[in-house]
Chains A and B, each alone.
Chain A
């Protein structure tokens, strides 16, 4: 119980500092360190993702950074993807899941190593729907900044993929959401982080409900995971004010690469787990 709580705390805390969901760290921790089967780890990780999203959502909403009108439109695609992901998860061999996870870890490491940039909004006709979802937020200097939503259909299709990946692997799917928000929808980074945080909770809930009803969530282990995740996300948010995430990125790129190597090792022949099943 203590181990599960500690793992969820570490994964959520690190995720909070780096602006990522906890799942990308928690699934490898649960499979490699705690010896959980990958389907059980994915179910528990989805619960952790929901807890982190719920715990941090009020902060972003009160700061006026979350665009819930845009989120609810994008959620139609992410939840549809999540339902498809839950249905596919039972059909894919575990080896494929490990391989997919390793690929996501590698891509996340690449994303983290690179600089995040927003493509400039092109001056061209936008759909009426996209213009109703435009918004504004206050920057650090207290100035009101307006932004426009671009290429909504492309964003929606990428969000379907993000939802599918989220339910399939128990992650927040930043690997697809970041390009969708930055390059397709062209949202400011703060708005995209806050809106994505709101969305991952709903997407993970769609996935977790499916896993729960299929009997793939170990409810006895879910309690400690929830507590660790809520505490971790609060600690991560506090640490974010004290630590500059840029300084930590190099270290966590290395951690992601090591986790990817471990997941690949399991996919191609199995690797010993560090702890007995807790």
Chain B
């Protein structure tokens, strides 16, 4: 892979982070505004939860995108590493759900 291709992947990842942060922040601001100004607590809480959930998922979405990009460019080792990270996160989620019961 050339340095230019690496820079292109960096650019895509940066755009996902920037867009995701903007959308999540907007959802939380809208949620808190609903709670404080409109006294619509249920709607406000739901909007805030969407924003918080997006923040938690954003790094996972980035790794998912990276795995797809590396697969498309034939970088099998880095694709395998990205998928490995996603599998560990999924395994951790499963174990946490089991432990919580």
**Chain A residues within 8 Å of B, Cβ to Cβ:** 1, 47, 50-51, 53-55, 57-58, 61-62, 64, 66, 68-69, 72-73, 75-76, 79-80, 82-83, 86-87, 90, 129, 132, 136, 201-202, 204-206, 208-215, 219-220, 222-224, 226-227, 230
Q: Which of A202, A206, A212, A219 is most buried by chain B, counting CB atoms within 10 A of its CB?
A: A206
Task: For A215, list chain B residues within 8 Å (CB).
Answer: 100
Q: Are B96 and A209 in contact (CB under 8 A)?
A: yes
| CB proximity to A under 8 Å, residues B33-88 | 36, 45, 48-49, 51-52, 55-60, 62-63, 66, 77-78, 81-82, 84-85, 88
* Interface of B toward A, CB cutoff 8 Å: 3, 6-7, 9-11, 13-15, 17-18, 20-21, 24-25, 28-29, 31-32, 36, 45, 48-49, 51-52, 55-60, 62-63, 66, 77-78, 81-82, 84-85, 88-89, 91-93, 95-97, 99-100
Write 19 A-B pairs (CB below 8 A) sorted by A numbering.
A54-B24, A61-B13, A66-B10, A68-B66, A72-B63, A75-B85, A79-B88, A83-B95, A202-B60, A202-B62, A202-B63, A204-B59, A209-B92, A210-B96, A213-B97, A226-B52, A227-B29, A227-B32, A230-B21
- Given A1-B32, A54-B21, A230-B21, answer yes or no on A64-B7 (Cβ-Cβ < 8 Å): yes
Set of chain B residues within 8 Å of A66, measured between Cβ atoms = 10
Q: Which residues of A contact B31 (CB under 8 A)?
A: 223
B63 — nearest CB in chain A belongs to which residue?
A: A202
Asked if A80 and B52 make an inter-chain contact with CB atoms under 8 angstroms apart, the answer reads no
Query: In the bound complex, what is the Cα–Cα distance between A205 and B82 (angstroms)?
Result: 14
Q: Which A residues lie within 8 Å of B84 (CB)?
A: 76
Q: Chain A contact residues: over half helix, strand or loop, or mixed?
A: helix
Q: Give the complex CA separation of A230 and B54 in angstroms.
A: 14
* CB-based contact B81/A72 at 8 Å: yes
User: Is the beta-carbon distance between A68 and B85 smaller than 8 angstroms?
Assistant: no
Do residues A214 and B100 form an inter-chain contact, with CB atoms below 8 A? yes
> Which residues of the other chain, B, contact A68 by a CB distance below 8 angstroms?
9-10, 13, 66
Please pick, from A132, A201, A227, the residue contacting B28 in the complex, using a CB distance under 8 A. A227
Collect the chain B residues with CB atoms within 8 Å of residue A211's CB. 96
Please name all residues of chain B whose beta carbon is closer than 8 Å to the beta carbon of A205 when the two chains form the complex.
56-60, 89
9 closest A-B pairs by beta carbon, nearest first, are A83-B92, A223-B48, A61-B14, A210-B96, A205-B59, A58-B14, A201-B59, A202-B59, A213-B96
Q: Residue B55 contacts which of A54, A86, A132, A136 (CB distance < 8 angstroms)?
A: A54
Collect the chain B residues with CB atoms within 8 Å of residue A53's CB.
59
Chain B residue nearest to A82 (CB atoms) is: B92
CB-defined contacts of B24 to chain A, threshold 8 Å = 54, 226
Chain B residues with Cβ under 8 A from A1's Cβ?
Answer: 32, 36
Contact A73 B81 (CB under 8 A): yes
Among B14, B52, B58, B63, find the residue whose CB has the most chain A CB atoms closer than 10 A: B52
User: Which residue of the partner chain A has the closest CB to B94?
Assistant: A213
Not counting A50-B55, A205-B60, a sample of 8 additional A-B residue pairs whose C-beta atoms are within 8 angstroms of each other reads A47-B55, A55-B21, A83-B92, A202-B59, A209-B60, A209-B96, A213-B93, A226-B52
Distance, CA A66 to CA B14, complexed state (A): 10
Provide the bound-state CA to CA distance between A205 and B77, in Å. 23
| Chain B residues, Cβ within 8 Å of A209 | 56, 60, 89, 92-93, 96
